[in-house]
Amino acid sequence: MSVQIPDKNSVEGTLLGQLNISLLKVTDEWTKQENLDALRDAIVNIKEDIEKRSAAGCRLLRLVIVTSDITQEIFRWQKKLGYPELTSTDENAVVAGKTLTWGDGQLGSTFSIIILSEVIGRGLISEDMGFKNLASGVFAHELAHVHDDFIGIHVFGPESTPANDDWIGIQQYFARIIWSEYFAESVAYVYLEESTISNQIGLCLKMMQSCNENIKREIIDYRSNGDIGQIWNYSCSEISKTLNQLGRVMGLLAKHSDDSLRETLIDQIGEISPSLSQLANQLYDELQLIDKNKKWDDATFDNLAIIVSAYFHLNGLYPIQNSEGLRLNIPLSK
């Protein structure tokens, strides 16, 4: 465990297969050697397990940072790597973990770090099995991102965020993140308890419901203020976080032995709107197809991108890409 603040150079100087752990701005409990040893053991064991089981690419991981100030630490790295300062937002508002990957897509020269909140670090060494499993699931989710990021950079090159008038790019980008959330939860599944899974399903339903209502409300506002930029940015963020959560839940349900859970979810989504349940079914089938497809190419996420577009339509928004950029049609509802 190092006490120095790690930086990009130190990560790039770490050999493939070597893993450093850094604790930043953490409480005194971490000065106890037994806690440090337990943390290292937990991290190494989960990584080895996931590497063998489902995400061999997590070998790329060079560094795990455990910190009480995760948002600041994520920003620090995003700035250093020249990435836009975004955190993956889930509705729980607290960020528990974040993976950052960069490099050229070759094993020896692609690097990943995982930043975990101190709470998750504490969970990894907890004697409370519920807490420990939850924390292990968060870490396993991030390990899956390491693997998936690597495959993505290897096949498509470094990922860039699309401009907000690049509709084709946005659909592909959203599709890519939905997939990555699906995959991450399908990997984390082995650690998660039934109560966590049902919480995730509940959250998903809540988000789909509120996405629908919030966009309806924004459309009413738009009719009076005409601010097309506002409704576009707002809807993109609502839709992205909602579909990401749906992707996560699909990843859990894909591994779950009880198919009736998925059927119940689809029925409940149908209560929000019947067309939504049809879309959720298509999303599930498509994610499963991508999961089985071992050789990615430029068309791998095309069907998922079409589903993303259909979700915008179901929320009353019809973006069209033309030569000047993006035109957003918002027809009056019947």
Which residues face 328 on adjacent strands? Answer: 319
Closest approach of Zn ion to the CB of residue 141, in Å: 6
Interacting residue ranges for Zn ion, rule: CB under 5 A = 184
Q: Which is nearer to Zn ion, 167 or 183 (CB)?
A: 183
Closest approach of Zn ion to the CB of residue 70, in Å: 14
What amino acid is encoded at 302 in this protein? D
Closest approach of Zn ion to the CB of residue 98, in Å: 8
Closest approach of Zn ion to the CB of residue 181, in Å: 5
Q: Which is nearer to Zn ion, 96 or 215 (CB)?
A: 96
Q: Which is nearer to Zn ion, 199 or 275 (CB)?
A: 199
Closest approach of Zn ion to the CB of residue 138, in Å: 9
Q: Which is nearer to Zn ion, 140 or 184 (CB)?
A: 184
DSSP output for 29-56: GGGSHHHHHHHHHHHHHHHHHHHHHT-G
Q: Are 125 and 104 in contact (CB under 8 A)?
A: no
Closest approach of Zn ion to the CB of residue 184, in Å: 5
Closest approach of Zn ion to the CB of residue 240, in Å: 12
Beta strand 318-322 with 110-117 is: unpaired
**E strands, the chain, in order:** 20-24, 61-67, 97-103, 110-117, 318-322, 325-329
**SS3 state at 325:** strand
- 167 vs 196: CA distance, rounded Å: 35
Q: Which is nearer to Zn ion, 67 or 212 (CB)?
A: 67
Largest CA distance in the chain: 66
Q: Are 270 and 120 in contact (CB under 8 A)?
A: no
Encode burial over 20-38: b for 16+ CB neighbours within 10 A, e otherwise.
bbbbbebeeebeeeebbee
- 225 vs 232: CA distance, rounded Å: 13
